[in-house]
Structure 1
Amino acid sequence: MDIKPAGSSAGTHSDTPVFVQGSTMRHVLVMTATGGAGLIAIFIVDLVSLLYISWLNDPSMTAGVGIATVVMFFSVSINVGLMIPIGALVSRAMGARLYDDARRLATSGSIIMTAIGLGVSLIALPFLPLILGAMGASGRTYQIAHSFLWIALPTNALMAGGMAFSTILRAAGDAKRSMYATLSVAVVTVLLDPVLIFALDLKSDGAAITINIARVAYLYVGYLYVTRAHKLLAKPSLKSILRDARPFFAIAVPAILTNLAAPAANAFFTGIMAQFGDEAIAASAIIDRVVPVSFAGVFALAGAIGPVLGQNWGARRYDRMKQTLKDSLTFMILYILGVWLLLFLLQTPIVIAFNAPPLTAELVRFFCQLSGPIWLFVSLVFVANASFNNLGYPLLSTFFNWGRATLGMIPFAYYGAQIGGPKGALLGIGAGSIVFGIAAIITAFWTIRRLERQAVPIP
């Protein structure tokens, strides 16, 4: 019997949700590939935007956009944390064949997420001078970052809404349309960035304006797919929103705290690199763009296995949950080894493309040579966190992410910088991730065994 994606219409659904049958490895690969394609498109666009800025031959501008991106990473990380309860609750409801509940949860979650996205912008904007100063921005670098953020931050609510709709599509098993929604951001940015940055001579402000227009497209395309292809939004009501807020925030609060660890660590690392001048900050900015493009498969994997685990938990298929985690690790290891080889071979073209000055080029090369071991253990934390967030253990995700970002990074990066300069700081990031990565993945398997033994009721 042909199985349609779960949630393909308002009133009719397949007897068996899409992730509860078939090869778990296939589900992991399909969800990761489609999610990765969308992420790579967005990350490449970010990479190309910084590439355009670097062609202006102004290290202060490159550094300013890099610092602004680190600040924006905080708002995006909060959005990602808010995606997690939407994906977990909707996929779990669909796995248990509670489709009316899935529609209600999708609607409530989208409204809550968009409202918080707006609140984050309103809170952050007045504190930009304090935030940028703490990160070491000064002079022209500060001015560029400040202007960029005042243009791009106010539309964070649109980004939050688009991310919510994309998550609903993935929870329903419709990875393809979720990818298309994400690709809309890339299409708009590719078309408009050269026009605004160069043709209209808006430079870094042009890149920020493009971000806003791309977010409008993302929200619109995601809304069309969720409503027309799946009819997974119900008529909103205050009663439903208040009812769903409790389970939503039970997952969202620890998930947000978990996701804030990465931008906090990035901000700390940027502060360390700022000690060595604009060229070191520019290197950090380039690395921050190269990493997401190169390791997009890992980021996509962390998002991909959530709906698979959620639906199988709803169906009480613990055997498939364990196998999903094993398949994820197999894919992750092979992927990272391949990317490491590619970065090692492309280190020279990368620094040439960015017109990198001497210190910037040296640091980017150094990262390319050591990226594999660093990201192998960081990725273990990513995969484990995806399991924790979708299986009712979000506080474990918070613990491991903050543990890696604080005890596993700050002392190693700080003393590494004191001993070996910016290269020592880069080495410190990798060294501190080893223990937390191994412990996190072992704990992830333990949580599944515990759920199976106790047959924990679905919240």
Structure 2
Amino acid sequence: MVAQTAKFLEGNLFRHITVMSLTASVGLMAIFFVDFVDMIFISMLGNEALAAAVGYAGAILFFTTSFGIGMAIAGGALVARALGEGDEQKARRLTTNALLYGVIFGAIFAAIVWQFLDPLTRLLGATGETQALAVLYLSIIIPSLPLLMIGMMGGAILRAYGDARRAMIATILGGVVNAVLDPILIFGFDLELIGAALASVAARLTIAAVALRPILQHHGGFDRPNVASALKDLMPVLAIAVPAILTQLATPIGQAYVTRAMAEFGEVAVAGMAVVSRLTPLSFAVLFALSGAVGPIIGQNSGAGMHARVGRTFRDALIFIALYVAAVAALLFFLRQPIADLFQAEGIGRQLIYLFCGPLALAFFFNGVLFVANAAFNNLGHPFYSTWINWGRHTLGTIPFVMLGGFMFGAPGVLIGQAAGGLVFAAVAWWLALRVIAQQTEKKAPPQPFARQGRLLQLFNFRR
């Protein structure tokens, strides 16, 4: 039974990493490409406030998406380990309960964020018409967070089964829906920013529906939900989800500070940064997918006690990152002028795009190291390591560097400082991941990897 479901226990690891990453990245690229086209359409409207509003809204959407990523990490890690252990019934039960908690927690989180949209956008530095447009855009998208949770967690669970193709199809179809509806709603119905928001909601609904279907039809489906089963899995889910969410939330908080710092240089600078924010995930979608692809490979091999393959997975992932970043950086450098022309960027905005298409693209290698190290921590029983590394990178590794960069070089210095801070924490994460993998190899009979975190959360909950 293990051989049928735990497909990463044998075969070439570099090939597994490449296939999983490229397959998953196709779906991600579809979504990121639509976001990229969104920005082109909005730029075509000729209102700088609209583009800036999307920039401010993007920082908050990054915040809510990070919550979904944390829950997806938990669901994917638990299901992958259960499959590595050969327990398909446990994997099915965890699939059901993880998705259930994702919907519940997603709805609660969305309600809280929706209630505070006005002060949150002001905190980022948005004012006047730009702030009102950002709130309008977010008030439509934020309530769909539970749908995003289902889609992201469903994709993570499919990848835990090694079914990256169907996870890819879900995100591609969501991207197609968004791409078709965008021009119809933005220009055809003259809804402008509202149309872009409605198209995004429709895409989230599509991804959620398409991701659930193969789980039901091809991977054992779901257990009937019951209170006893849900309570049994609450602590294992929270043991990974809480530190994973805290880890992911560090990124948008760091990005929020960067947005605030960029706002000091005007709406043109914020709009230019918004373009860079759309270019980044589109250019490096494969690396964003890599973190989700490596997790199941590490999880299955760790669950089966094949620790030597865990170490080789980490090494091969770093080689993959170096090759990919070098290729993409070269391509961006040669395309920097037409990219800037596409957005009709001038002045500071054009400088920021050129900067991204040059040295900042090469610096993304360090982000890739952090992605893979965090995947290793989450799947080897040390999720809080990810938390500390990410928070360090987006506080100590962001705030002083951005302040210094902005002071010395203006708006470009903000992005330079943000990139420079990643180098130190990437080195720390690399060293710590190697140490964790070595410890796993030395243990002949490792304890339950998430038991300690589960006990800590139990103590925290029942002390009150």
Common fold by TM > 0.5: yes
Deviations 1:403-447 (A, max 9, x none): 111111110101211121111111111221111111111211110
Instruction: Report the counterpart of residue 201 of structure 2 in structure 1.
Output: 212
Deviations 1:288-309 (A, max 9, x none): 0000000111111111000000
Pair 1:393-2:405 in alignment: no
> Aligned with 1:432: secondary structure?
helix
Pair 1:282-2:278 in alignment: no
Q: CA deviation at 1:16?
A: 6.8
Q: CA deviation at 1:353?
A: 0.7
* Equivalence map 1:19-418=2 (5 Å): 19-418=8-407
CA distance in 2 between counterparts of 1:69 and 1:438 reads 29
Alignment-mate amino acid for residue 47 of structure 2: D
Matched residues, number: 448
CA RMSD of aligned residues (A): 1.1
CA distance in 1 between counterparts of 2:187 and 2:4 reads 54
> Aligned with 2:205: secondary structure?
helix
CA distance in 1 between counterparts of 2:221 and 2:394 reads 37
The question of whether the paired residues in 2 share the 8 Å contact of 1:102 and 1:232 is answered with no
CA distance in 1 between counterparts of 2:222 and 2:440 reads 31
Deviations 1:53-73 (A, max 9, x none): 011111110000111111111
- Which range is displaced more, 263-272 or 425-434? 425-434
CA distance in 2 between counterparts of 1:15 and 1:336 reads 34
Deviations 1:221-243 (A, max 9, x none): 11111101212311111111111
CA distance in 1 between counterparts of 2:93 and 2:142 reads 29
Alignment-mate amino acid for residue 458 of structure 1: Q
Identity of paired residues, percent?
Answer: 41
TM-score, structure 2 as length reference: 0.95
Pair 1:457-2:441 in alignment: no
> Aligned with 2:410: secondary structure?
helix
TM-score, structure 1 as length reference: 0.96
Q: CA deviation at 1:375?
A: 0.9
The question of whether the paired residues in 1 share the 8 Å contact of 2:84 and 2:301 is answered with yes
Instruction: Report the counterpart of residue 4 of structure 1 in structure 2.
Output: none
Q: CA deviation at 1:382?
A: 1.3
Alignment-mate amino acid for residue 130 of structure 2: T
Does the C-alpha gap of structure 1 residues 233 and 16 become closer, same or farther in structure 2, counting only changes over 3 Å? closer
CA distance in 2 between counterparts of 1:13 and 1:450 reads 25
Q: CA deviation at 1:373?
A: 3.5
- Which range is displaced more, 110-119 or 367-376? 367-376
> Which 5+ residue runs of structure 2 have no aligned equivalent?
450-464
Q: CA deviation at 1:349?
A: 0.9
The question of whether the paired residues in 2 share the 8 Å contact of 1:373 and 1:430 is answered with no
CA distance in 2 between counterparts of 1:196 and 1:449 reads 54
Alignment-mate amino acid for residue 28 of structure 2: L
Q: CA deviation at 1:190?
A: 1.0
> Which 5+ residue runs of structure 1 have no aligned equivalent?
1-11
Q: CA deviation at 1:347?
A: 0.9
> Aligned with 1:260: secondary structure?
helix
CA distance in 1 between counterparts of 2:207 and 2:124 reads 30
Q: CA deviation at 1:253?
A: 0.7
CA distance in 2 between counterparts of 1:13 and 1:420 reads 56
The question of whether the paired residues in 2 share the 8 Å contact of 1:32 and 1:297 is answered with yes
CA distance in 1 between counterparts of 2:330 and 2:406 reads 26
Instruction: Report the counterpart of residue 3 of structure 1 in structure 2.
Output: none
Alignment-mate amino acid for residue 336 of structure 2: Q
Deviations 1:179-198 (A, max 9, x none): 11111210101111010001
Alignment-mate amino acid for residue 391 of structure 2: W
The question of whether the paired residues in 2 share the 8 Å contact of 1:55 and 1:355 is answered with no
Q: CA deviation at 1:357?
A: 3.1
CA distance in 2 between counterparts of 1:327 and 1:121 reads 38
CA distance in 1 between counterparts of 2:5 and 2:415 reads 47
CA distance in 2 between counterparts of 1:301 and 1:220 reads 24
Alignment-mate amino acid for residue 368 of structure 2: S
> Aligned with 1:414: secondary structure?
helix
Alignment-mate amino acid for residue 448 of structure 2: I
CA distance in 1 between counterparts of 2:114 and 2:31 reads 24
Q: CA deviation at 1:205?
A: 0.8
